[in-house]
Chains A and B, each alone.
Chain A
């Protein structure tokens, strides 16, 4: 099932399929290891459109709500 990172449940894993954003955002995410094809795990999210944290390989990343909206993942049932 396709969804955005913000719609994932805590500890749910998914494969990044698409990032909606300009060159800058895509490059910045890429250098931190977030790019299409990579498996990420959602860790936590803050209420009131706050930031989310995800796990990519060995790293934990905090992403603002707006960025997390633009990253789409494929989640297995």
Chain B
């Protein structure tokens, strides 16, 4: 099978071209470094099955960074290179193109985002560029699909052309090419460009970022609460509830199957939050408590990602982060972690230095609550309002800062300097946002819901095998004396290894006070990430590092929980 490599600078739309070619849905966003590992897919052209690899973006083939090393190595194993270029940024993009041509591989060049050149007053003579480079050049707008057909039709024309250009003369060569094929006409700044400056000037940018944060928060609440209150609660209450009740009569209370499927009844009725049956709490937690917030969060995140605001936020945050020994882009794994820690942990790969990767991954693993957990905490503590929620999220934020300062001292190394390309603002395409939202929601339903059900099943088994009672007895000194929690809370801690949402849900029937709920919520966030996240971290950083990290997690959880127990 022939292997085709998609190569180009970061953030030129390789992943969008990849989706167009293979039909596979991959996450694409408007910031450099969205694709950190490489993605493979296949498609058929004229009856031949071809393999396509979405290579992470690089600016050159000189192995000055890990990503470039990987890209250079992959180049030797490819049969054909589709070089994706940002048409609005021809000069810089051509550097890699010339290096690719020098490698002797057959190349076809794609001028992506060609539609944007018109708004920017850039005119490119595609035919002339084609003859100068000696390989086919296809203008596309991959987001809308324009030009992709032409790319497929001309794929066979891809050819190698060893343009001689050494490191010293390459830029001169590029200058000559650009002079011949590109004409830039002056035009006025667009509204989006004015916004670009506005959101980066400190005096307007910082208030603007606060506004964006509040707006995001408001939208997430509105959408999440709205879906729960008007759609999902009524659905469970009036449609699903009566059905399950019928089953309950059929099975008869007290039988094993009844306990497993439906759980305990409160005054002869189902309590979806507390019954702990597979068909009651097992479905209610993922679908009616967590899913609405997952949808709301990813809607907002996808829009933020596609506009190009995140790298700007990174620049604004850099001054603060730099003092903590991190750099501004650390904000990206944290934001992704607010959704789910698995993609959050993977996104740390974008950082060059291992120190930076490790610190940001551990900070995220300990202090950032994932949306499944946040939704459940809101479900439990929401009725106390700010008095219940602020101590939980405030403690986590303070912990984040304390831990970051500690790492700065304890883990020696340089605080890296920010150095990144800031993409222009773009209006998110409704189709792209919807697609990404669907991709992430489906991921939650396919990957998380089975684990939630497994979690509920385990809870039932633990209770019926009296494991919780035994462990609770053993852990009692720590739980009661340090954290002020009842013995049964050990059940939540055990299940928390598997799923955080189920773990928080287990607190509901225990009749805890607000203070106990706050302590338990903070401990559940910090003491250990869910097993899925831990496995990813283990793969990234190895056993020895993660052993230390795990010890730190337990220490942090006990200290923070104990502190809250004393002061609240």
Contacts and interface: CB of A to CB of B under 8 A. Distances in A.
Interface of A: 10, 24, 27-28, 30-33, 35, 43-51, 53, 56-67
A53 B122 CA distance: 23
14 contacts: A27-B62, A28-B65, A28-B419, A32-B421, A44-B205, A51-B318, A53-B200, A57-B92, A62-B311, A62-B314, A62-B318, A64-B416, A65-B417, A67-B419
Given A10-B201, A53-B200, A53-B422, 6 more contacts: A33-B91, A44-B205, A50-B315, A50-B318, A62-B419, A62-B421
Contact of B315 (A32, A46, A57, A66): A46
Nearest to A33: B92
A53 to B, nearest CB: 6
Nearest to A49: B319
A63 B418 contact: yes
B315 A61 contact: no
Interface string B407-443: 0000000001111111010000000000000000000
B424 A64 contact: no
Contacts of B205: 44
Contact of A51 (B59, B88, B328, B421): B328
A46 B323 CA distance: 14
Interface in B195-214: 196-197, 200-202, 205
B421 A47 contact: no
Given A53-B422, A57-B91, A46 B202 contact: yes
A27 B327 contact: no
B64 interface: yes
A47 B202 contact: yes
Interface string B31-71: 00000000000000000000000000001101011000000
B377 to A, nearest CB: 34
A44 B418 contact: no
Contact of A44 (B60, B201, B328, B416): B201
Contacts of A50: 202, 315, 318-319, 322
Interface in B82-119: 88-89, 91-92, 95-96
B316 interface: yes
Contact of B60 (A31, A35, A60, A63): A31
The 10 closest A-B pairs by CB, nearest first: A64-B417, A50-B319, A31-B59, A31-B60, A60-B422, A44-B200, A58-B89, A33-B92, A64-B418, A62-B315
Contacts of B311: 62
B173 interface: no
B417 A60 contact: no
B171 interface: yes
A65 B323 CA distance: 12
Contacts of A24: 64
B59 A32 contact: yes
Interface in B471-520: none
Contacts of A10: 201
Q: Most chain-B Cβ atoms within 10 A of its Cβ — which of A59, A63, A67? A: A59
